[in-house]
Amino acid sequence: MLIEQQIRLGLLRGPGKQEALRRAGLELIDEDGKSYPLLGGRVPVLLPDMQQADAYARSSKRMNKDYSATGMESARSPLQRLKAFLTQDYRTKSSRNAFAALFRTKDDLVLSVGGGPLRPHPQLTNLNIGPFPNVDVVADAHVLPYRDVVVDAIYCEAVLEHLKAPHAALAEMHRVLKPNGLILAITPFLQAYHGYPHHYQNFTLTGHCAALEGAGFTIVESGTCVGPMYTMVSLTSTVLAEYLPKFIGVPLRAVWWICGVFLRPLDLLIARRQNAHIVASTTYVLASKN
């Protein structure tokens, strides 16, 4: 659902407010007359503390490099496409089916919390803390700028580990979802620290399910998303990069990278096992709001 339609239907609200925002030129206005900018006339900035959020979004050089238009253009180069193909994560069929389940009708509002700069499905509305490419709403996951029970489904991948208060964010997601709305959370279990700009926690599959149940969701299904071989390859590569002298680590990483090309596809078999979550790189939880 396009942002313009969301505004027209009165689905957006100011941070912590109740009433719908209305458009006034290049701004959105709340019931108290407070205004929120529309970047480029189309991207609402709905943050409780704009200066703090801006500092947070700019504090990670890696995030800004990866999320920039230049970084996205670089990712489209033939060499980067080949690299992406050779290093793909071979996620499980069940997790891919869970993602597909979010899109029930073409008119649904499917919110990607922490989404962008990629858009893995054209129907996703990307919400992020910074005005990066392909971000449709600039907002804080802890204070979602949507009215109660107006969102049809939520997609949240590689986000909860970066939130200081993930349970508060999950409570917000529960609030904005319609009854019987679905949420798909995909979160790391065994991954190295990766600050975007911060990295607070990872989740076991048990902890992942418990976090969503604690927010009031009912688990529909759960399991491994990215499997044990990916874990072994990525963590070993991190150890080689972080703890060995460059004259040893660089050639070893090159050899290990080639090994990884052949090891990662084994997850097509291993990640389907019942016990794959024990050493999974990421797990997924598909849940509903009853």
| Domain of residue 183, CATH code | 3.40.50.150
Residue 119, classified by CB atoms within 10 Å of its CB into exposed (0-12), middle (13-18) or buried (19+), is: middle
Q: Does residue 190 belong to any structural domain of this protein?
A: yes
Distance separating alpha carbons of residues 226 and 263, to the nearest angstrom: 13
- pLDDT for res 23: 95
List pLDDT tens digits, range 150-159: 999 999 999 9
Q: Which residues of the chain fall short of a pLDDT of 50?
A: none
Phi and psi based region of residue 180 (left: phi greater than 0; alpha: psi -120 to 50; beta: remaining)? left
Q: Does residue 266 belong to any structural domain of this protein?
A: no
Q: Does residue 115 belong to any structural domain of this protein?
A: yes
Q: Are 38 and 28 in contact (CB under 8 A)?
A: yes
- pLDDT for res 74: 66
Strand 35-39 versus strand 43-46 pairing type: antiparallel
Give the total number of structural domains in the chain: 1
- pLDDT for res 73: 67
Q: Does residue 250 belong to any structural domain of this protein?
A: no
Q: Does residue 242 belong to any structural domain of this protein?
A: no
Look up the domain containing 68 and give its range: 3-227+271-288
Q: Does residue 99 belong to any structural domain of this protein?
A: yes
List pLDDT tens digits, range 88-131: 999 999 999 999 999 999 999 999 999 999 999 999 999 999 99
- pLDDT for res 207: 98
Q: Does residue 128 belong to any structural domain of this protein?
A: yes
DSSP code at position 196: S
| Alpha-carbon torsion (186, 187, 192, 196), positive or negative | positive
Q: Does residue 56 belong to any structural domain of this protein?
A: yes
